[in-house]
Amino acid sequence: MTAATGTIQRLKTALLELIRDALLTAGELFKIIIPISIATRFLQQWGLVDQFGLLLQPVMELVGLPGQLGLVWATAMVTSIYGGMVVFAAVAPGLDLTVAQVTVLGSMLLVAHGLPVELRIAQKAGTRFRAMALLRIGGALVLGWVLYHCYQLSGTLQQPNQALWNPEKIDPTWSAWLVAEVQTMVMIFFIILGLMAFLLMLKKLGISDLMTRLLEPVLALLGMGREAAPITIIGMTLGLSYGGGLIIREAQSGRLSKQDIFSSVALMGLCHSIFEDTLLLMVLGAHISGIFWGRLLFSLLVVFILAKLIKGLPQSFFNRYLVRPGKVVSTDDGVKCC
């Protein structure tokens, strides 16, 4: 066998292994996403999302927003940011919103959206469902409240909001929904395949180790070890669904400690898809000061505080309320969870 033939054979084997790993990772996600997507669809059809929005009206007033926008946040929390944007396009005209108000709403949508799927992914990765739900929803409210008062006291961004884009109306039929869901699943698989190939390339080139060394001091302050760095970066930049799928795989492998898992998932939950989602909200008129810088700084501060608090908590409390039980593996570096 010639050298060229050997190289082609090795590449073929590596590609098949990569596709297999991507299918396994995507399969873990699909087990979560498919049943929850169906349940969410029924909730929408039965009008329960609308009722949830009505319940949120008093809450929206706490952050200086009209009560009608409660339906926007409710839709985003149950479905996705895209769903919230569609509802926003329907209810925003006539409310005379300011840029500051849209920025406050946008920051809340970015922190707490797609919760049925994303919280289940976080749970599958090893964290407690209730802890992450409280962190996401409570974090969204606190960030919204802080931004509201900052803009109000400084008198900034009080000009009328001008949205740059109005999303198309979603086809309500079941067939259109099914086509959209299948397209999403296919897209998720190819994104995961690309991410895993990208991670492999970074590892081969030594870039992954370099990034980890550069971020190690920051991650140490946030209670994370160097093993969690690459996945956390992916989750923050590309989304919890993609980063979460990879961290589920890492958690099951036993290479991450429970502290790493909790801190990584918490940071990804509060601040993920920082480029794509930020751009989505900017086209609705939200300002980058809140939806990017405000969210990023807030997320880092919250996870930093959580890391400090966790160190002072009894291990029994941490295991009972913040992370799920799992098989523990002893290693030279300490106790790991899988």
Query: pLDDT, tens digit, for every residue of 215-237?
Result: 777 777 787 777 777 778 777 87
pLDDT 10s digits, 44-70:
678 777 787 788 888 999 999 998 889
Residue 177 has pLDDT above 50, yes or no: yes
Alpha-carbon distance of 82 to 91, in angstroms, equals 15
The region of weakest confidence among 109-123, 134-148, 316-330 is 316-330
Residue 171 has a pLDDT of: 65
Average pLDDT score, the chain: 82
Tokens of 223: 């209670």
Distance CA 151, CA 113 (A): 23
pTM above 0.85, yes or no: no
Per DSSP, the residues of 306-332 read: HHHHHHHS-HHHHHHHTB----EEEET
- Per-residue pLDDT, averaged over 276-294, amounts to 90
Question: What is the pLDDT at residue 32?
Answer: 66
Which pair of tokens denotes residue 23? 């299918």
Instruction: Round to whole Å and give the CA distance between 65 and 100.
Output: 10
- β-partners of residue 248 are none
Instruction: Return the C-alpha torsion angle 61, 65, 67, 70, nearest 10.
Output: -110
Residue matched to tokens 């926007």: 72
Query: What sign for the dihedral angle of Cα 152, 156, 162, 165?
Result: negative
